[in-house]
A and B are shown apart, each in its own frame.
Chain A
Amino acid sequence: MWQSALRIWALVKKELLAVLKDKRSRYSLFIPPVLQCLIFGYAASYDLNDVPYAVFDEDRSIQSNDLLFRLDSTHVFRRVANLQRNGDIATVIDNKDALIVLHIPQDFARNLHRGSPAAIQVIADGRNSNTAGIATSYVQSVVDLFNDNWRETHAQPAQSVQVAWRAWYNPTLETRWNMIPSLIGTITLMQTLLLAAMSVAREREEGTFDQLLVTPFRPMEIMIGKAVPAMMVGLVQATNVLLVALLWFQIPFQGSLLTLYAGLVLFLLAAVGIGIFVSSFAVSMQQAMLYAFVLIMPFALLSGLTTPISNMPQILQYITLVNPLRYAITIAQRVYLEGAGIDLLFPDLWPMVLIAAFTLSIATWMFRNKVA
């Protein structure tokens, strides 16, 4: 037992040396994750902060001016044109000069004073329907404020029902808050899976894997010797991303670090398992890498990172059950934002153990039988 541990330790040292001795591969392991985290943190957002818009104001009244002034003073809406003709609406939208066009009809102020509904039209560029929807909802909230104000100053009864809302775990509803904790898993998955797959594939391509098999190492020990270094690299990367979240983006951490790392270790075990599993099917480094890549794509897409799993059709929801990233993202978000304890996370922990056990035992079996 002791000897076995010593042998594994020797392998781990050798693997770490092989990965870290080259300056370029050191950089490629630790710099890109932090960069990715920073860029994604700023890029991966659905919150708009610049909406170019054009106005076709046929009314030109004090009231329409007031409404436009409210839009302009949000600092989100940026007026790019005052249109004179109905026909110009199509041009500014088509050419992407404006995301939305606000059309205020001639009878706007008259209707307001008469107390009948005054309609304005919002035309949105639906080429990205998500963005268009968000922009129009911003217009709506400005109009709501205008309405409240109008009712107050014109002695009309206030809206009979008030809707008061509050969001748990993310009071200002910032996309970044759920995106960055999810990246802890996503970024480390890509790198550890590739690293594990490549470390086996490289030895096989260079023929040193066969040499390793004739040494006194047992296949199980070789497997552990390959898995542990990749997991160590993964843990360092996860820590880097966590530090960016805490120190750069300053997203408050609610849970316990111990719980988070317990989840991460299991997740990395599953990721490394899949990496070694893939490499046991590949004959060359190139194949191992391509196979790993073909797997990483659906892992990332079907993880709940960009879109919720509950939006997917049932059959894809079943497929996500074998996706370790799905569990890692749930765990990271829940521990990070909600402060969930390990008891609540149990349903997300055991599937990863199962994935690791399955992939690693198949891989061990493959290695033993291919050589024989």
Chain B
Amino acid sequence: MVEALTIVLAAGLTRGWRSSLAGVGAATAALAVVVAALGPALTLVPIDALRLVVGGLLLVFGLQWLRKAILRASGYKALHDEDEIFTRELRDAETAAHEERAGLDWYGFTLSFKGVFLEGLEVAFIVLTFGSTQQNIPLAAVGAAIAVVLVAVVGVLARAPLSRVPENSMKFAVGVMLTTFGIFWGAEGAGASWPGGDAMILGVLAFVLVLSFVSVVVLRRRRVVPVTA
């Protein structure tokens, strides 16, 4: 969401707020349709099948996030820099050709739409998966909506990309959580029973945390040790 705010700010400042906010509105409506359409359908799926699919998808997403976070923490990948992304988006938006469609600056509209929709799709996915496995999609949607409003309010107040948000640490935490729930639900959905029941989720969390920190330490050491021929 922080990344979406950066894109919307760049589009609004360079291409006009009307087109940019229209893009935000259209993307938000599209995301609401995705959640509203898939939400009720997911409640009809048997819980074990749902946990298998949801667990698998969460694991795939979680491992992607975790992989990037570990590579960033160990110095193999550049840290996410919102200021740099903002500068790049501003430069691109300033140099793009002006094309008007439906009374809107098309570049500003599509830039905001794509930024919010693509970033929001991950949020919608998390809302649907966590909400459906706990059989409370509205509550999960409310949680996501509060987070969106919070980021938007802070963005309006700051009128600058949220570069002070510890985004890299937050992404590490999200990767750990997605992987933890992915392992837990995926195994349950595949027919395994966890010793200790739901309490074992803390054990899985500890396992993923240790695995992640060990990976960071190993990669950091590998990076500083000079390679000899």
A and B held together in a complex: no
Residues of A at under 8 Å CB distance from B?
none
Q: Name B's A-contacting residues (CB within 8 A).
A: none
